[in-house]
Amino acid sequence: MSELTTTARRNKGGRKSKGARHTQSIRFPVDLYDAIAQAAPESGFDNINDFVVDVVERAHKAGLFPPPGGQMPLSA
């Protein structure tokens, strides 16, 4: 009988892991989506998801999240 051996898997390329993530589906108003879709590549992003994550992360770091227990009113 032949002997089974295990070898370490090689990274087959692709993007570096962005770490643990949660999946969230968001339905944007059409006008807002159009603005996001235009701004993402203009800002150097190759996909809308990474752009939206970056914008939300920056807003969080800047203290722009609504206060606990309250939703900010939407203007659109």
Q: What is the per-residue pLDDT for 42?
A: 98
DSSP codes of every residue in 36-58: HHHHHHHTT-SSHHHHHHHHHHH
pLDDT band at 50, cuts 50/70/90?
A: very high
pLDDT digit string (tens) for 53-71? 999 999 999 999 877 776 6
What does the alpha-carbon distance between residue 74 and residue 76 come to, in Å, rounded to a whole number?
Answer: 6
pLDDT digit string (tens) for 20-40? 989 999 999 999 999 999 999
Q: How far is CA 5 from CA 1, 8, 9, 12, 13, in A?
A: 13, 10, 12, 20, 24
